[in-house]
Amino acid sequence: MKYLVVALALLGSLGSPVAAQEAVNTGAGAVLRALDKLNAKVSDISLLNGERRTMGLLEVTLNECRYPKGNPSGDAYAFITIREAGVSEPVYRGWMVASSPALNPLDHSRYDVWVLRCTTS
């Protein structure tokens, strides 16, 4: 009976509002870093929101970059789409977090791509 009461209390709390999330600003774009693991070439790419750029065999599109409100040098996270040349289905589509690149990484045999920071202009 005691466990039933605890379980019902936990289920009831699921419907309650979640604690406030951190306030964010949307950056004008982002700086991404890419590594070509085949030839050990590292390059940085600056993209504006909505911009697409080809890098080696990858086509990278930045959808949006966000950062903590009032702190553009804070922890950036960006929604990006990555496609291989000539392939319509993305090899990656999602949010990448600058402070935790391994949290949601690109899984590609040749390339690594991660977010460095948002840009404000």
Indicate whether 75 belongs to any domain.
Answer: yes
pLDDT-based confidence at residue 92 (cuts at 50, 70, 90):
very high
Residue 31 has pLDDT above 90, yes or no: yes
pLDDT at 71 over 90: no
Q: Let me know if residue 12 belongs to a domain.
A: no
With respect to residue 13, please indicate whether it lies within any of the assigned structural domains. no
Per-residue pLDDT of 100-110, as tens digits, reads: 988 889 999 99
**Is 3 contained in some domain?**
no
The number of domains in the chain is: 1
Q: Give the model's pLDDT for residue 21.
A: 74
Give the range of the structural domain holding residue 72, as residue numbers without chain letter.
Answer: 22-119
Q: What was the pLDDT predicted at 20?
A: 56
* Interval 8-23: pLDDT, tens: 444 444 454 545 577 8
How much is the pTM? 0.77
User: Is it the case that residue 73 has pLDDT exceeding 90?
Assistant: no
Which residues make Cβ contacts (< 8 Å) with residue 77, sequence separation at least 6?
Answer: 65, 66, 67, 95, 96, 97, 98, 115
Residues of the chain with pLDDT > 70, as a percent, come to 83
End-to-end CA distance of the chain: 60
7 located within any domain: no
Q: Give the chain's mean pLDDT.
A: 85
